[in-house]
Amino acid sequence: MLAQGALFGCAEGAGTALDRDALLDPESCSGCHPVQYREWSGSMHAYAADDPVFLAMNRRGQRETDGELGPFCVSCHAPMAVREGATTDGLNLDEVPRQLKGVTCFFCHAVRAVAGTHNNPLELGDDLVLRGEYADPVGTSAHSAGYSPFLDRDAEASASLCGACHDVVINEHAAIERTFQEWRQSVFSEAGGATCGQCHMDQSLEAAPIADAPGTAARRLHDHSMPGVDLALTPFPEMTAQRDGVQALLDATLQSALCVVDLGGASAIRVILDNIGAGHGFPSGAAQDRRVWVEIVAEADSSVVYASGMVADGTAVTESADPDLWLFRDCMFDAAGAPTHMFWEADRYESNQLAVQVTLDPGDPRFYQTHVVQSFPRAEKEFFDAVPERVTMRVRVRPIGFDVLDDLVAGGDLDEGVRDAVPTFDIDLGAGPVLEWTPERVNGRYVEQGLFEASCVTESNLDVTADKTAGSLPGACQP
């Protein structure tokens, strides 16, 4: 009936104003805002309280801390449920009304103040005004409308709203999620840069009415699917659209080059990666759970003479015995220095993510901090006995590691079937997910140590002659 009330509120002359209970329910929004509702309904915001990994982590955390974890997780995954007193720890989410689950329309559009930088310090207005990005809002009979820079993707303040939940600090000092902090240190946070919304909420090219209501102005609409890197692991609306959105974001993240260095009868491989598209480190968010790695295959005489990063489907990347594996992630450690997957045990972290751009000035030495080069082989031996005939590269992304899931399964908190739903993405490296080096495809060269020529292939306009930063050492940030 709430959605019907929303429809009546949009009908000319109906005069139906939605009360607070109705405004709390995203279904009420669907009558006037069907496009935005459909996009949100398949988003990770809508899914936040249904995610089986979140539920398993919270269940285990509550058990292992004897309940001291309290509302820590659910304050971001179902904030209205906490604020309405429907849950205190998230253990009863199966009994919580649907309209209070996830990150809802009301929760974001009622924000009146951002009182901190992490762990959800957002303050909501009690005036039932739903705020948005337009400086000249058109009120409707359904609800009052107002402008807020926190909801304006073109205003710097909007990043602070997103960052309030997407930066997480545990045990008072362990900053285990730092997406907002990374953005603030980047060139994207400067004038002319890009806010969270400008990357994660695409703007329509054509103007259209923002609501199916009389008198509403034509606006350029903003996508409410808000893709990132995670996907729903159980049946959920808009799953294909969400996956396509994630892939599109990943494909715009990196510039890359694949090079072979001629050492005079021997050779070595160089991979150059540059995080040009993410407005933060890569990977980011729950980077302790992310797994991003490079796969290299070299061939000679139609046989594989070298391979690194060859991780079989269904296999945990961190179980690889590959001494040359180039893996990007965070690692968490408890107070005794032991590695842990469980965030409530975290006392510190280490990270070897690809750094975010901090300047666009090529004359600034910091410009090249994100121009990262890695050698293959990179442990025990330093070269091949001959120059390979063909080398291929992929950069692979798994939103959550199988080692994390296996830990939750072993503890009895997660159904092992969830494992099968975790995707592995391959990033488009300019001409598809595979970057191929052959002597005929070389389109760039540089000289190492003034002696050895590196011949490179890039499909993403990466300047292989520019200064470079050495990649992480073998075994860095490995449990």
pLDDT (tens digit per residue) in 336-360: 999 999 999 999 999 999 999 999 8
**What is the distance of C-alpha 51 from the center of its chain?**
16
Question: In this predicted structure, what is the pLDDT of residue 103?
Answer: 98
Predicted confidence (pLDDT) at residue 176 exceeds the cutoff of 90: yes
Give domain status of residue 228, yes or no.
Answer: no
Record the pTM.
Answer: 0.94
* 242 neighbors 40 (Cβ within 8 angstroms): no
* 190 neighbors 364 (Cβ within 8 angstroms): no
Exposed, middle or buried, 207 (CB in 10 Å: 0-12/13-18/19+)? exposed
Question: In this predicted structure, what is the pLDDT of residue 69?
Answer: 97
If you count them, how many residues does the chain have? 479
Predicted confidence (pLDDT) at residue 171 exceeds the cutoff of 70: yes
Band (pLDDT 50/70/90 cuts) for residue 303 is very high
Mean pLDDT of 368-393: 85
Per-residue CA distances from 63 to 13, 58, 81, 416, 463 (Å): 54, 9, 21, 20, 52
Mean pLDDT of 97-102: 98
**Is residue 286 domain-shared with residue 172, that is, in the same domain?**
no
Mean pLDDT of 183-212: 93
Mean pLDDT of 46-61: 98
User: Given 247, 267, 301, which residue is the final one in a domain?
Assistant: 247
Percent of the chain predicted with pLDDT > 90: 82
Give domain status of residue 229, yes or no.
Answer: no
**Is residue 134 domain-shared with residue 243, that is, in the same domain?**
yes
What is the domain range of residue 268?
Answer: 253-470
Question: In this predicted structure, what is the pLDDT of residue 139?
Answer: 76
Q: Which of the pair, 302 or 454, is modelled with greater confidence?
A: 454
Question: In this predicted structure, what is the pLDDT of residue 156?
Answer: 95
Is the sign of the CA dihedral 181, 251, 225, 96 positive or negative? negative
* 424 neighbors 398 (Cβ within 8 angstroms): yes
Mean pLDDT of 310-337: 94
**Is residue 243 domain-shared with residue 280, that is, in the same domain?**
no
- CA 236-237-242 angle, 5° bins: 95
Percent of the chain predicted with pLDDT > 70: 96
* 284 neighbors 353 (Cβ within 8 angstroms): yes
Q: Cα-flanking dihedrals φ and ψ of residue 266, to 5°? A: -135, 175
**Is residue 240 domain-shared with residue 314, that is, in the same domain?**
no
Question: In this predicted structure, what is the pLDDT of residue 379?
Answer: 60
* 422 neighbors 405 (Cβ within 8 angstroms): yes
Question: In this predicted structure, what is the pLDDT of residue 35?
Answer: 95
Give me the number of domains the chain comprises. Answer: 2
Question: In this predicted structure, what is the pLDDT of residue 478?
Answer: 65
Give domain status of residue 223, yes or no.
Answer: no
**Gap between the Cα atoms of 75 and 70, Å rounded:** 9
**Is residue 206 domain-shared with residue 258, that is, in the same domain?**
no
Which of 333, 374, 355 shows the shortest CA–CA distance to 479? Answer: 333
Query: In 94-225, which residue ranges form alpha helices assigned H by DSSP?
Result: 105-109, 157-166, 179-184, 196-200
Predicted confidence (pLDDT) at residue 251 exceeds the cutoff of 90: yes
**Is residue 162 domain-shared with residue 276, that is, in the same domain?**
no
Give domain status of residue 279, yes or no.
Answer: yes
Buried b (16+ CB within 10 A) or exposed e, 5-18: bbbbbbbeeeebbb
**Is residue 320 domain-shared with residue 201, that is, in the same domain?**
no
User: Given 247, 268, 291, which residue is the final one in a domain?
Assistant: 247
Predicted confidence (pLDDT) at residue 7 exceeds the cutoff of 50: no
Give domain status of residue 227, yes or no.
Answer: no
Band (pLDDT 50/70/90 cuts) for residue 25 is very high
**Is residue 282 domain-shared with residue 412, that is, in the same domain?**
yes
- CA 172-177-183 angle, 5° bins: 115
Give domain status of residue 367, yes or no.
Answer: yes
**Is residue 260 domain-shared with residue 243, that is, in the same domain?**
no
Question: In this predicted structure, what is the pLDDT of residue 382?
Answer: 66
DSSP 129: E
Mean pLDDT of 124-128: 94
Mean pLDDT of 448-454: 88
Predicted confidence (pLDDT) at residue 132 exceeds the cutoff of 60: yes
**Is residue 151 domain-shared with residue 269, that is, in the same domain?**
no
* 193 neighbors 279 (Cβ within 8 angstroms): yes
**Is residue 198 domain-shared with residue 278, that is, in the same domain?**
no
Q: Which of the pair, 380 or 184, is modelled with greater confidence?
A: 184
- Expressed in percent and rounded to 5, the helix, strand and coil fractions of the chain are 30, 25, 50
Q: Count the neighbouring beta carbons within 10 Å of the beta carbon of residue 243.
A: 15
Band (pLDDT 50/70/90 cuts) for residue 381 is low
**Is residue 138 domain-shared with residue 259, that is, in the same domain?**
no
Band (pLDDT 50/70/90 cuts) for residue 8 is very low
Predicted confidence (pLDDT) at residue 380 exceeds the cutoff of 60: no
**Gap between the Cα atoms of 191 and 224, Å rounded:** 24
Average pLDDT, the chain: 92
Give domain status of residue 426, yes or no.
Answer: yes
Give domain status of residue 226, yes or no.
Answer: no
